Amino acid sequence: MQASSFDQFTGTETYIVSPDLRDTVNVAIALQRPLLVKGEPGTGKTLLAHNIARALGKPLLVWNIKSTTKAKDGLYVYDTVQRLNDARFGDGDVSDIKRYIRLGCLGQAFTADEQVVLLIDEIDKADIEFPNDLLNELDEMNFYILETDERIVAQQRPIVIITSNAEKELPDAFLRRCVFHYIAFPERDLMAEIVHVHHPRLEDDLLGQALERFYELRKVEALRKKPSTSELIDWLQALVAGGISAEQLATALPFLGVLLKKESDVEVMLKKGAADQRRLTRMGS
């Protein structure tokens, strides 16, 4: 491997990465290890995989994990019900088990002709043992189909991106094999860049003021769900559409519902707003 091949991923025109995330992605690709990404909701964990695929021009496979997902589902599923149905009602060739083996996302990633990006989204949703069940397959990049006595070996090791919301602890053995990155909430400067990608013609005054208010809002301890990047982008859209000026924004928080998605949070802010207003009037008088 040459040093020059490290910097494969540099973000895309719509997805701004911080340099440390970019480096970590490239390390994971070069070392051929799964990249585990954690972080607050709305920091672009899932989007990262989409954009790695886009930047590298590789197909993306998404495996969404639910609480009922089993590790084996990602490898293959033996569709016994279909086979039973065929056996009873005489459709198709029941003797060929191969026809009833459906490859899961991992299986598809292994058998693909070209290298793919495989996103295992929200791995923490599954059972606690789930990651451990995948260890071997991710390590050796092959698995065995019992029913057909066949071994599926990866043509090319897929680039594996795993996201987690940290609801459950992941097992140590699993963690040791991953490259890990925690996406911190973007600092102001980085956020300005991210916003710029989505609203290239936004006035600097308005953006400055909006960011000011946005980060203020995130500091309010009483909020149960802090607004994230996607809410900020929607909010800016609303501000522009509503013709709100930077001056107006200094004294009021219009379209609060776009930023805060919980009713109780909106109430908190309205109360706080009223209290601030009273204090201002008192100071003025």
Contact residues toward another protein (CB under 8 A) are 1, 3, 6, 10, 16, 18-20, 23-24, 27-28, 30-31, 33, 36, 38, 80-81, 83-84, 87-88, 167-168, 170, 172, 175-176, 178-182, 184, 186-187, 189-190, 193
Query: Two tokens at 227?
Result: 């607004």
Helix (H, G, I), strand (E, B), or coil: what is residue 39?
Answer: strand
Q: How far is the CB of 192 from another protein (least distance, A)?
A: 10
- Identify which of residues 58 and 181 has a Cβ nearer to another protein in the complex: 181
DSSP-assigned states of every residue in 70-130: -HHHHHEEE-HHHHHHHHHHT-S-TT-GGGGEEE-HHHHHHH-SS--EEEEE-GGGS-TTH
From the CB of 190, what's the least distance to another protein, in Å? 4
Instruction: Identify the DSSP state of 62.
Output: E
Residue 199 or residue 273: which is nearer to another protein going by CB? 199
Q: Where are the beta strands (DSSP E) in 114-240?
A: 117-121, 142-145, 150-153, 159-164, 179-183
- Select 120 or 244, whichever has its Cβ closest to another protein: 120
Q: Which residue has tokens 């963690």?
A: 175
Smallest distance, another protein to C-beta of residue 16, A: 7
- What 3-state class would DSSP assign to 205? helix
Decide whether 113 or 221 has the Cβ nearer to another protein: 221
Least distance (Å) from another protein to the CB of residue 201?
20
- What is the nearest approach in angstroms of another protein to the Cβ of residue 274? 27
10/111 with CB nearer another protein:
10
Residue 123 in tokens: 């791995």
